[in-house]
Amino acid sequence: MKWNRKCVGVVVAVLGLLPCAAWASNNKICFEGESPAALVSPLKKVLPGYSPQYSGRGYLEIPWDRNKTKGLGDATYRVKVDKPGLYYLWARTFWQNGCGNSIAVAVNGSAPVVLGEDGTYDHWHWVGGTARVQLNAGVNIFVIKNRETGVRVDQVFLCESGDYIPTGIRKVTQ
Ligand SMILES: [Ca+2]
């Protein structure tokens, strides 16, 4: 009898945790910078092949040109989403120098979100995690704009939790 009562207690405790686990779900979305559906120059795909430095076959690049082409061109992505909601936006980026250390991303026609403006140069690293974007169920349109030149984007990552910080290369979901 004692053992049975303990069992019931465990079941009740597990059931009690379930709503909590559902509430704490952190859906993640990740796609490659070098896989846009459409691309307008000077943005370009750089595909050197597989490397431990970056994910997939390469990255998106806005070549450094002393910001002469700043504002021109963009890269458009079609991103499928199962679970709609507000997601934190991140990008795995590489800044060649201090004159180009940010990207702007517009999601579903909304005002562009700026990622970066940090001081980590010549090194792949994650930027973002402050702005949230609204994603709909189905296809969402992401546009990376040419805010500055001399930048590279390996991956774009989104998650629901503000406590989650991506590291290294993330698993692609698209
Ligand atoms: Ca990549």
Walking along the chain (174 residues) 10 residues at a time, the average pLDDT comes out as 53 50 80 98 97 97 96 98 97 94 97 97 97 97 98 98 97 96
Question: CATH for 26-159, among 3.40.50.620, 2.60.120.260, 3.30.1490.20, 3.40.50.11540?
Answer: 2.60.120.260
Q: What is the pTM of this model?
A: 0.86
38: tokens are 């459409």
The answer to whether the beta carbons of residues 82 and 143 sit under 8 Å apart is no
- Structure-token pair, residue 152: 């590279």
CA of 159 to the centre of ligand 1 (A): 18
**Helix (H/G/I), strand (E/B), else coil: 83:** coil
The backbone torsions φ and ψ at residue 90, rounded to the nearest 5 degrees and listed phi first, read: -130, 155
Give residue 2's pLDDT.
53
- The 38-39 sheet, strands edge to edge: 38-39, 74-81, 138-145, 102-107, 113-116
**pLDDT score of 97:** 87
Whether residue 166 is preceded by a cis peptide bond, meaning omega within 30 degrees of 0, is: no
- Using the mean position of ligand 1's atoms as its centre, give its distance from the Cα of residue 36 in Å: 11
At residue 93, φ and ψ (nearest 5 deg) are -125, 165
Provide the token pair at 89: 């936006």
pLDDT at residue 116, as a whole number: 97
CA distance 157 to 19: 26
> How many angstroms separate the alpha carbon of residue 165 from the centre of ligand 1?
18
- Give the C-alpha separation, 57 to 140, whole Å: 23
Please give the structure tokens belonging to residue 111: 């005002």
- In sequence order, what are the residues at sequence separation of 6 or more whose Cβ sits closer than 8 angstroms to the Cβ of residue 131? 88, 89, 113, 114, 115
Give pLDDT, residue 12.
47
CA of 34 to the centre of ligand 1 (A): 6
The token pair at 157 is 């990552």
Tell me the CA–centroid distance for residue 154 and ligand 1, in Å. Answer: 4
Q: Residue ranges per domain, the chain?
A: 26-159
Q: What is the pLDDT of residue 105?
A: 98
Alpha carbon distances (Å) from 149 to 69, 91, 95, 142: 7, 16, 9, 19
Please tell me the distance between residue 75's alpha carbon and the centre of ligand 1 in angstroms: 14
